[in-house]
């Protein structure tokens, strides 16, 4: 990690095409996933803006969902360079966000864990091998007992 490098700053002009989808919630600027979905369904061309909106929409509903129906406006910086989108390690990004959400859950005693629940299920199933005799393949997260959740949180 370079400690004496240049400051990393997002350029505000990169955010301009996305401001039409932005909302404010308690001072937090975000992009509405429902507005993005409507705009995506109206778009005729698969240009750079379409790709950026699509990736942001997928981030907001699948990769790093929150309890709100939006995604932070700062996430735009992850998709501003369209050529770099396929080069990003999206799996690590999702996993790191999930771990952050689990840590926040533990620290602040939140009642839910946001983030990519697919990763959460995969982690649970990977570490549940041998603990249960049978595991239903259509695992319902709401059916986890407190012991199951405790075990998962200690493993992660």
Question: Over the stretch 65-94, which tens digit does the pLDDT of each residue have?
Answer: 877 788 887 788 788 888 888 888 888 888
Q: What is the pLDDT of residue 5?
A: 46
Write out the two tokens for 29. 């600027």
In whole angstroms, what is the distance from residue 16 CA to residue 80 CA?
A: 11
Q: Around 121, how many Cα atoms within 13 Å sit in the side-chain half-sphere?
A: 12
pLDDT tens for each residue of 104-141: 888 888 777 777 777 777 777 777 665 555 555 554 55
Q: Is 76 exposed, middle or buried (0-12, 13-18, 19+ CB in 10 A)?
A: buried
Query: What pLDDT does 6 receive?
Result: 45
Contact 90, 58 (CB under 8 A): no
């Amino acid at each position: 990690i370079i400690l004496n490098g240049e400051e990393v700053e997002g350029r505000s002009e990169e955010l301009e095409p996305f401001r039409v989808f932005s909302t404010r919630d308690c001072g937090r600027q975000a992009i509405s996933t429902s507005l993005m979905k409507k705009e995506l369904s109206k778009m005729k061309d698969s240009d750079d803006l379409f790709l950026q909106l699509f990736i942001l929409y997928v981030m907001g509903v699948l990769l790093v969902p929150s309890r709100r129906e939006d995604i932070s406006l700062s996430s735009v910086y992850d998709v501003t360079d369209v050529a770099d989108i396929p080069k990003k390690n999206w799996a690590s990004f999702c996993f790191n966000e999930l771990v952050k959400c689990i840590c926040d859950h533990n620290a602040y005693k939140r009642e839910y864990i946001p983030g990519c629940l697919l990763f959460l299920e995969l982690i649970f199933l990977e570490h549940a091998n041998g603990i249960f005799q049978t595991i239903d393949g259509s695992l319902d997260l709401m059916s986890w007992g407190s012991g199951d959740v405790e075990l998962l949180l200690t493993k992660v």
